[in-house]
Amino acid sequence: MTKRPKRPTDPNQLAKRIIDIATGNDAPILASLTSTVGQIIKIYTVQQGVNWLNLENFARGIYFLKVQIAPDNIQIRKLVIQ
């Protein structure tokens, strides 16, 4: 059974511009950060367990984090960096 990526629940995590993703997959999965117009800003490879993505160098604004857990299981999370 695949776990859903963990949403950042602590507002201080986004204030620090660091979020964590938890995955139950044995294989690495892709996570991509995109702008509101769909431009891919950065692609991350995340492993099983908790992964920390440092968003410190990104400008304030709205972004989307797309996590591809499996070819037919893609989840998208909205991120607001302030």
Contacts of 35 (CB under 8 A, 6+ apart): 41, 61, 63, 64
At 70, list the tokens: 């499996």
Rounded CA separation 29/44 (Å): 8
At 15, list the tokens: 């204030």
Looking up tokens 């139950």, which residue turns up? Answer: 24
Q: What was the pLDDT predicted at 38? A: 94
Q: Is 20 helix (H, G, I), strand (E, B) or coil?
A: strand
Candidates 54, 58, 3; CA nearest to 29 is: 3
Q: What was the pLDDT predicted at 33? A: 93
User: What's the whole-number average pLDDT of the chain?
Assistant: 76
The CATH architecture to which 11-81 belongs is Sandwich (2.60)
Residues 24-47: what's their mean pLDDT?
87
pTM for this prediction: 0.69
Residue 36 pLDDT more than 90? yes
